[in-house]
Chain A
């Protein structure tokens, strides 16, 4: 997919590296992230290539771990100790091409079912993608996060690489993404850590990495032919 993306739109190491470095910057602010040491472009380029152009650092961690969240009624939540975070939108989508034939027959190779789940969840919440303050995006590989940024509508088709190459997802960037360090630098526990971080950001409990005044968060889960989008508000 990364090679096809590079063929159609161009994809520089500094762009995939931009996403990886931005994610690491966030992880450095999270005491529980597994990969917290600073990473610059030279460090990224020194990472061994697994399959061109993806390096070790473009691939998620492998982690044993667990997390949990509690979903209840607004009334019960209001009676609990923590600030209420509301599920304003939640949508699942599945590609018409099944996982079985996904890589061999998917007609539009660089766009996934996230396009549908994101549009649906945002419509449920009654907002647009520009209203998002913080996003926790399923980053199993750097390229899959870049492609989802396009499917979500954060960037246009083919513009995701340039977006992350400018460190737009880093602390202080245009859209804070994976503020816990994501699957790339926090941990790989199936993405539930993205939900936990999304809730913490909207509760304003993310301490040193808090996106100031964040009121709307977006979380995604992704598995080739399946995608899920969650919109959290306070």
Chain B
């Protein structure tokens, strides 16, 4: 189900196999999550077996690029190699509207903390190397609980 997705064709070789469907989706401006066809639940991160029921019958499905900030912070001293000059930058754990039990780790815009509980949209921007990456931005909407 995850093979042959066009967005994956242009991905860098260094991206591990289990993450290629995710980044292939991002290249096409979509968020795709691993989905268990047996218990019909999303999970994150990708695994060989469903963390909920143990099934290996897994695929990938598109979810809406929106959610709510579960936790957030501002990284002032970056420990990831190469990220140092970007600090300070905001990051957030975002619970997805279509999979509230799954939280994506996302960069936010700028160096301010996006408050916990804020609705966010996931947008797609080019990073310094030109690769498309997802980013959480405060949503201009007030339609929680729909």
The verdict on A104 contacting B71 (CB below 8 Å), with A7-B116, A51-B77 known, is no
Whether B73 and A48, one on each chain, are in contact in the complex, defined by CB atoms closer than 8 angstroms, is no
Whether B47 and A101, one on each chain, are in contact in the complex, defined by CB atoms closer than 8 angstroms, is yes
Q: State the main secondary structure of chain A at its contact with B.
A: mixed
Whether B47 and A100, one on each chain, are in contact in the complex, defined by CB atoms closer than 8 angstroms, is yes
Instruction: Kindly list chain A residues whose C-beta atoms are within 8 Å of the C-beta of B47.
Output: 100-101
The answer, yes or no, to whether B105 is at the interface (CB within 8 Å) is yes
CB B1 to nearest CB in A, in angstroms, measures: 20
Task: Pick out which of these stretches binds chain A: B5-13, B96-104, B127-135.
Answer: B96-104
Q: Which of B43, B45, B74, B105 contacts A51 (CB under 8 A)?
A: B74
Whether B44 and A104, one on each chain, are in contact in the complex, defined by CB atoms closer than 8 angstroms, is yes
How many angstroms between the C-alpha atoms of A101 and B113 in the bound complex? 24
The answer, yes or no, to whether A97 is at the interface (CB within 8 Å) is yes
How many angstroms between the C-alpha atoms of A84 and B11 in the bound complex? 61
The answer, yes or no, to whether B62 is at the interface (CB within 8 Å) is no
Whether A3 and B76, one on each chain, are in contact in the complex, defined by CB atoms closer than 8 angstroms, is no
The answer, yes or no, to whether A45 is at the interface (CB within 8 Å) is no
- B117's closest neighbor in chain A, by CB? A7
CB B66 to nearest CB in A, in angstroms, measures: 17
Interface size on B, residues (CB 8 A): 22
The answer, yes or no, to whether A126 is at the interface (CB within 8 Å) is no
Whether A51 and B75, one on each chain, are in contact in the complex, defined by CB atoms closer than 8 angstroms, is yes
The answer, yes or no, to whether B70 is at the interface (CB within 8 Å) is yes
Whether B51 and A3, one on each chain, are in contact in the complex, defined by CB atoms closer than 8 angstroms, is no
The answer, yes or no, to whether B93 is at the interface (CB within 8 Å) is yes
Interface residues of B in 88-133 (CB under 8 A from A): 93, 101-105, 113, 116-117
Whether B51 and A48, one on each chain, are in contact in the complex, defined by CB atoms closer than 8 angstroms, is no
Convert A1-32 into 0s and 1s, putting 1 for each residue whose CB lies closer than 8 angstroms to a CB of B: 11110010000000000000000000000000
Instruction: Kindly list chain A residues whose C-beta atoms are within 8 Å of the C-beta of B43.
Output: 101, 105
Instruction: Kindly list chain A residues whose C-beta atoms are within 8 Å of the C-beta of B117.
Output: 7
Binding site for A on B (CB under 8 A): 43-45, 47, 51, 70-77, 93, 101-105, 113, 116-117
Question: What 5 pairs across the A-B complex have the smallest Cβ distances?
Answer: A4-B71, A7-B116, A104-B103, A51-B73, A50-B77
